Structure 1
């Protein structure tokens, strides 16, 4: 059950829009009498606005211009004997308007028999003009507008339910917390029909060790830029105080300018939806928001678990890769640089987003097979002899064997990279002597970035090469050692290679 804590705002509540009543009659006196009788009419704090038409044609134009007419009084006989009946038919069937209440009025009851008219036409009442005294006219209007309001509420609820289902499906398609936050923001703004309002989504979670964090999932409006979506961050103090109050009270909060939704997702975790408002939410908006946010809470919980697992896997990959590099006595930033270079090349080659995301982590596993190589060979300062070199070359196959048993995408690509990143375009590489396009693309990418970074680094057996020397080497070996297309792209963007090296320098 949802509970709303409300406060009164000092700001003046905006006036509610009046109910629109259309008077469609060729007698100007009927317009005057109807306006005079209903001029002080009010229902649910809303007055009335009169719209006038003096023929069936004008009446149809009026309905085309205004899609929110609550009630229309329609004369039967205007420019012809059935002008009013034709208009009603057009309103219902041509304009597909079935919400406006239509009351047919006639000064000649016998000309359009009541039973036949009610049976054939979708009207809500049929009155002789002489029947509508002041009191009866007001009673008729109360009934019609109350009916219009209820139909609007039902339609709004129906659309809200449809939007909730569509929006939930859209959010379910999110693959990460950042995508999730963006999807939620977009759908909530659509659901609530907010104009220039600000929406702020965060979560509160207390873990096994008692640590509590507030994680920003997304922000819009004037809160954009205060914190990066998906990253735990300090939020504005005033907002943090309001959110903590909601967490303490364990209930929604609503005022004329603010809505904070409280959605528990577990014993110690919560979703908090923070919405700045230009005007208070109505009951349908509140219910729609609650339904959507409840679905979002479940999605968020599942997505958080998924992302936690993925992040743990990625962190373990980095730890393992760093440990291998340390054992190999390679330069400290090598793993991080080949990751960034591989990702950059994949983007420049216009590969799929899934490929780019996967190589970002799989690249770190390129030398995982070195874990099986004896330290006497790994740490040898001079050139390896023939026997030692054959042992060193086995790290490609060993790396593949370590990873090949997994059905996870990152491990699958890691196995391919580990095995093929020493293959050559001309077929003179190892372990399988693959050539050209027979070498998997991820292996061809790693082959060039691994060599480039090694050449630019100081190693125990060589000094660092200059950028010019490396570019010359790439030009000489394009089409023999390296894929010529990838080589061309890397040379074209070699300033990015140097930029990455500056960002991830070797540790002293």
Structure 2
């Protein structure tokens, strides 16, 4: 005889799996009668699937292989007089299964007294086989499966709360709207047991000029490849049309395939929650989803405003930097290249994520002091005379003075970079003649990046150097003009530097 077997069950019209009922008894007739009586049993639109075992040993293997059994009928007397009692003890203590409902059945009630068994063993009911009429059997199955369902709901909620607590740090640590949206997305899927569904968060905003943007806050499932976090035009047209309809109607929409939640956050802004369904949401899922999304909508709004301000600041930094480069007759490509190069070197130096994100924008301010230099000096095609050179060198200190008054981290680092990116490792730089590690690392990074990009670029006063010529120059000046460690990293990854230049070429290249 096989270890255990599955019976044929009624086909369920529901897409949900049937409830599993285990029959563990050494009498074949008991299996047949139980299955015959319960063959048409349904609870919450789900049928049943019977699993059979004929000894305590087989029963333990069955429960080990099927921890999702909702109810197990266990005979007390099988291969031994107490085989069923030992099986109950093993299920609860060895398998640590406290969810499956266990109903002991016996044909010899006197051999295992009811009160003693109920007190000593973690069972849910104890029945003599003779008292289980068809009606009573169905009644105890309804009670047991309802209890199993409730315990499962509590367990899922418990696991969901554990996941929320574990992932809450990622929400609090989120540095961007996209990171926050992703964290919220993960928590929502966990809480609502929608792991096989797709949830999609967007926010819609119409500005003073009537322009509307749609921002993807988080995506999962088969939408994750079609959508980009942040402001995006890659939202699938079919979804965009459904979202626009919800915005026009100002109300939720639900079908068998999709739920779209509408959550206004202001006069001209709205949050949209798009859930692609495997099956319709139940009342609990929908209410929880709406409550959850309504509450985080306020957080989204605040983060959106914060990110808009940050984005505006960063865009203004880029505009200012481009304007300075244009004034000094250098290309805007230089600014974008040094940003990418400094970020790359900072990563290779294993700097903190905060440092990397800050230098990404602070690097653009390295020559902000040139705004104070007369154009006759900036635009002079030939070599500067000594007096002109002294005036040119003042741009480092001037840049520092322009930025030093701010307490914003980008401006703080920008001030340091502006002042120190012309210092030399050997102490022969300007404006203060700092040497070695006395030069802040952000200044040392910018020093080599600024020179390398300038050497590889064509200027009105010189042709572009070849990569081989630049690498020779770096070897010769390691430990003199440049930090030797940063120089080694730059040479080792010079191909990556050339790739960065290729992504932001000058107009005449």
In which range does the TM-score fall when normalised by the shorter chain?
0.7 to 0.9
Conserved 8 A contact 2:178-2:216: no
Structure 1 residues 484, 246: closer, same or farther in 2, change over 3 A? same
User: What do the CA deviations read for 1:7-48 (whole angstroms, capped 9, x no partner)?
Assistant: xxxxx9644322222222233332232223222322233222
Equivalence for 2:334: 334
1:281 aligns with 2:281: yes
State how far apart, in whole Å, the 2-side matches of 1:220 and 1:156 are: 21
Between the aligned partners of 1:13 and 1:37, the Cα distance in structure 2 is 20
- 2:52 aligns to what? 52
Alignment of 1:32-431 (within 5 A): 32-191=32-191, 193=193, 197-431=197-431
Partner of 2:28: 28
Rounded to whole Å, the distance in 2 between the matches of 1:227 and 1:220 is 9
> Can you list the C-alpha shifts for 1:58-80, whole angstroms capped at 9, x where unaligned?
22222212222222222223333
SS of aligned partner of 2:73: strand
How has the CA–CA distance of structure 1 residues 218 and 126 changed in structure 2, closer, same or farther, with 3 Å as cutoff? closer
Shift of 1:413: 1.4
Measure, in 2, the Cα distance between the counterparts of 1:415 and 1:210. 38
- Point out the more displaced range, 181-190 or 41-50: 181-190
Shift, 1:304, TM fit:
1.6
In the alignment, is the contact (CA less than 8 A) between 1:204 and 1:271 conserved in 2?
yes
Specify which structure has the bigger relative contact order, considering alpha-carbon pairs within 8 angstroms and separated by 6 or more residues.
1
Deviation at 1:230, TM superposition (A): 1.3
3-state secondary structure, aligned to 2:229: coil
Quickly say closer, same or farther: Cα 1:53–1:470, change in 2 above 3 A.
closer
Distance change in 2, residues 1:476/1:150 (3 Å): closer
**Quick one: structure 1 residues 325 and 18, their matched pair in 2 at CA, closer, same or farther if it must change by over 3 Å?**
closer
- Using the alignment, how far apart are the partners of 2:157 and 2:250 within structure 1? 26
Moved more, 430-439 or 222-231: 222-231
SS in 2 for 1:333: helix
> CA distance change for structure 1 residues 27 and 470 in 2, over 3 Å: closer, same or farther?
closer
- For the 8 Å contact 1:171–1:296, the answer to whether it is kept is no
Shift of 1:199: 3.7
CA distance 1:380–1:259, shift in 2 (3 Å): same
CA 1:127/1:411 → structure 2, altered by over 3 Å: closer, same or farther? same
Maintained 8 Å contact 1:216/1:233: no
**CA distance in 2: counterparts of 1:227 and 1:150, whole angstroms:** 37
Measure how far apart 1:360 and its partner are. Answer: 1.4
1:260 is paired with a residue of what secondary structure? strand
Give secondary structure in 1 for the equivalent of 2:347: helix
Q: Which moved more, 1:365-374 or 1:178-187?
A: 178-187
Relative distance call for 1:420 and 1:129 in structure 2 (3 A) is same
Is the CA contact (8 Å cut-off) linking 2:101 and 2:145 kept in structure 1? yes
2:213 aligns to what SS in structure 1?
strand
Residues 325, 107 of structure 1: alpha-carbon distance in 2 compared, 3 angstrom cutoff: same
Secondary structure of the structure 1 residue equivalent to 2:351: coil
Residues 1:142 and 1:218: Cα distance change in structure 2 (over 3 Å): closer
- Report the Cα distance in structure 2 between the residues aligned to 1:103 and 1:452, rounded to whole angstroms: 79
The Cα of 1:172 is off from its aligned counterpart by 3.5
Instruction: Please state how far the C-alpha of 1:443 moved relative to its aligned partner.
Output: 1.0
- Displacement of 1:314: 1.0
For the 8 Å contact 2:160–2:190, the answer to whether it is kept is: no
> Hey, what's the Cα distance between the residues in 1 that align with 2:252 and 2:161?
21
Number of corresponding residues: 497
SS in structure 1 at match of 2:431: coil
CA deviations 1:86-145 (Å, max 9, x no partner) are 322332333333332222222222333222322333322222222222222222222222
1:73 partner SS? strand
Find the counterpart in structure 2 of residue 3 from structure 1.
none
Residues 461, 61 of structure 1: alpha-carbon distance in 2 compared, 3 angstrom cutoff: closer
| Distance in 1 separating the partners of 2:154 and 2:491 | 64
- Checking the alignment, whether the CA contact within 8 Å between 1:164 and 1:288 is kept in structure 2 is no
CA distance in 2, matches of 1:251, 1:167: 30
**Deviation (angstroms), 1:492:** 4.1
C-alpha separation in 2, matches of 1:44 and 1:331: 69
Structure 1 window deviating more from structure 2 (402-411 vs 184-193): it is 184-193
Q: Equivalents in 1 of 2:215, 2:436: separation in Å?
A: 47
Would you say 1:453 and 2:463 are equivalent positions?
A: no
3-state SS of paired residue (2:230): coil
In structure 2, the CA distance between the partners of 1:438 and 1:87, relative to structure 1 (3 Å rule), is same
* More divergent stretch after superposition (60-69 vs 459-468): 459-468
The 2-side partners of 1:269 and 1:422 are apart by 47
- The two structures have a TM-score, normalised by structure 1, of 0.87
Is residue 24–residue 59 contact of structure 2 (8 Å, CA) maintained in 1?
Answer: yes
TM-score w.r.t. the length of structure 2 is 0.87
SS at match of 2:20: strand
2 CA distance for matches of 1:139 and 1:119? 23
Counterpart residue number, 1:5: none
How far apart are residue 416 of structure 1 and its match? 1.4
RMSD: 2.9
d(CA) in 2 for partners of 1:150, 1:391? 79
